[in-house]
Amino acid sequence: MKADIHPNYQEVSITCSCGNSFKTRSAAGKPEMHIEVCSECHPFYTGKQKIVDTAGRVERFRQKYGNVQRG
């Protein structure tokens, strides 16, 4: 590896808007970072995610392509 071309990683304290905080390493240059969503409060990770079907798009897709048999 070449010397002096890689970023300087340092320990960073991350604080989420939900109150969760953890430490990681980053090259951002800031000792503290504030984020809006983390794995403790994001609906995908908590299992509370719901599929929102806007204007019946999922149902129209299923009607159009749902009965297609692949051979």
Which residues define the annotated binding site for Zn(2+)?
16, 18, 38, 41
Q: What angle do CA 50, 55, 59 make, to 5 degrees?
A: 75
Is residue 7 within a helix (H) or strand (E), and if so which, with residue range? none
Residue numbers belonging to the annotated binding site: 16, 18, 38, 41
Residues 6+ apart with CB under 8 A from 7: 27
